[in-house]
């Protein structure tokens, strides 16, 4: 990249966080505020429809952000992805294309694009390395979302390659924490389990979970991802794509038993093997980012306790 196109961010930088009310965006906002950043910009979806190109252009022209963090996306678990393939593809493309292209055409000096580990092939070698991208077919249950995110990664790479701009992509593993989505129809596995076990706790009713319990997953507390985003904001990273994970994974069965224990549910745990398991394993190799001195700090057991505590305090306002 051309050094003339790059500059480090400072506490006076105008930083726009797209999706600042979501789990990731709110964690990034908290992390930046804690570090003394005072010019943070956020708009709700009602205030700014990121699918509307002209609205995004007008917003950028008015606010003139120096840094853009794309934490806005249409997200969901296996069920939501399977039942809504078109919006998961198209709305994510619209959101990220408008943000990336407008940032490129204005005075934005740094763009941080957030994606997901599902961009990697279903049967890629484990742990997943950045270079495995586009080497094989995707997991069918979430390929629509994955294809959109891959397009975003490649768009940022292309801008970086052609124009020398500091556009970088961070691919987190499965996230959880405050402001997670607990709606059983659209949530991911960990918050869905938390809610199921909590609601069954009073009567110790049986809890039925999808699949066999054998797939392995890696989970990252969202505040650890936020620190990785701050790290990307404060430093000029040498490559365009970085995995963000813990480096350890557990079986879905182990996850369920851990959550069951933390919640205090004493009932039966039933596995519905007629439902899909999804990808057999998704462990990420985050050594590239770790080599630059970023490290996750919150262990899974402690993170689940924190997430459950937040859920209990906000149960009436969660989906």
Whether 84 has a pLDDT exceeding 80, the answer reads: yes
Q: What is the pLDDT of residues 5-27, one digit of tens each?
A: 455 667 889 999 999 999 999 99
**Whole-angstrom distance, CA of residue 23 vs CA of residue 116:** 14
- pLDDT, mean of residues 257-262: 98
Whether 58 has a pLDDT exceeding 60, the answer reads: yes
What phi and psi, each to the nearest 5 degrees, are found at residue 245? -155, -175
What confidence score (pLDDT) does residue 7 get? 57
Question: Residue 204's CB: how many other CB atoms inside 10 A?
Answer: 12
Binding site for substrate, by residue number, is 196, 210, 217, 277
Q: Whose structure tokens read 């080497």? A: 135
What confidence score (pLDDT) does residue 8 get? 61
What confidence score (pLDDT) does residue 10 get? 79
- pLDDT, mean of residues 295-305: 97
Percent of the chain's residues with pLDDT above 70: 97
Q: What are the residues whose beta carbons fall under 8 Å from the beta carbon of 27, sequence distance 6 or more? A: 177, 178, 179, 222, 223, 225, 226
Binding site, by residue number, is 19-25, 114-117, 149, 172-175, 188, 196, 210, 217, 277
Q: What is the pLDDT of residues 198-207, one digit of tens each?
A: 999 999 999 9
What confidence score (pLDDT) does residue 245 get? 97
- pLDDT, mean of residues 236-264: 97
Binding site for NADP(+), by residue number, is 19-25, 114-117, 149, 172-175, 188
Question: Residue 205's CB: how many other CB atoms inside 10 A?
Answer: 13
Burial of residue 225 (CB within 10 Å: 0-12, 13-18, 19+) is buried
What confidence score (pLDDT) does residue 319 get? 57
What confidence score (pLDDT) does residue 3 get? 44
Q: What are the residues whose beta carbons fall under 8 Å from the beta carbon of 105, sequence distance 6 or more? A: none
pLDDT band at 35 (very low <50, low <70, confident <90, very high): very high
Instruction: Cite the DSSP H helix spans in 2-142.
Output: 23-34, 53-63, 78-83, 85-105
Q: What is the pLDDT of residues 87-131, one digit of tens each?
A: 999 999 999 999 999 999 998 999 999 999 989 998 899 999 999
Q: What are the residues whose beta carbons fall under 8 Å from the beta carbon of 142, sequence distance 6 or more? A: 78, 81, 88, 118, 278
Whether the predicted model's global pTM rises above the 0.75 cut: yes
Higher pLDDT: 183 or 30? It is 30
Whether 78 has a pLDDT exceeding 80, the answer reads: no
pLDDT band at 278 (very low <50, low <70, confident <90, very high): confident
- Give me the catalytic one of 16, 145, 221, 242: 145
Cis peptide before 127 (omega within 30 of 0): yes
CATH 3.40.50.720 for domain 3-177+218-248+281-298? yes
Average pLDDT, the chain: 93
Domain ranges of the chain: 3-177+218-248+281-298
Torsion angle of alpha carbons 89, 94, 97, 102, nearest 10°?
Answer: -170
Percent of the chain's residues with pLDDT above 90: 83
145 part of the active site: yes
């Amino acid at each position: 990249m051309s050094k003339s196109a790059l500059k480090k961010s400072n506490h006076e930088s105008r930083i726009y966080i797209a999706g600042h009310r979501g789990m990731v965006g709110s964690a990034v906002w908290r992390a930046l505020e804690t570090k003394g950043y005072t010019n943070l910009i956020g708009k709700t979806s009602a205030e700014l429809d990121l699918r509307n190109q002209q609205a995004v252009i007008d917003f950028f022209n008015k606010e003139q952000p120096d840094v853009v963090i794309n934490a806005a996306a249409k997200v969901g678990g296996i069920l939501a992805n399977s039942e809504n393939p078109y919006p998961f593809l198209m709305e994510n493309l619209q959101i990220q294309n408008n943000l990336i292209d407008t940032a490129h055409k204005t005075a934005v000096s740094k763009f941080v694009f957030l994606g997901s580990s599902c961009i990697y092939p279903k049967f890629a070698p484990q742990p997943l390395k950045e270079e495995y991208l586009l080497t094989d077919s995707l997991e069918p249950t979430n390929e629509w979302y994955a294809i959109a995110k891959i397009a975003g990664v490649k768009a940022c790479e292309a801008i970086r390659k052609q124009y020398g701009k500091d556009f970088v992509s961070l691919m987190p593993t499965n996230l959880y924490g405050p402001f997670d989505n607990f709606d059983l129809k659209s949530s991911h596995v960990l918050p869905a389990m938390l809610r199921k076990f909590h609601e069954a706790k009073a009567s110790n009713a049986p809890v039925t979970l999808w699949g066999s319990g054998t797939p392995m997953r890696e989970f990252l507390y969202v505040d650890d991802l936020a620190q990785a985003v701050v790290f990307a904001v404060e430093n000029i990273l040498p490559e365009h794509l970085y995995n963000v994970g813990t480096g350890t994974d557990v079986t879905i069965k182990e996850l369920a038993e851990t959550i069951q224990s933390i919640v205090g549910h004493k009932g039966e745990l039933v596995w519905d093997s007629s439902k899909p398991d999804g990808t057999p394993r998704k462990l990420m190799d985050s050594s590239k980012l770790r080599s630059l001195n970023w490290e996750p700090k919150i262990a899974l057991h402690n993170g689940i306790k924190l997430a459950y505590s937040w859920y209990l305090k906000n149960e009436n306002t969660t989906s």
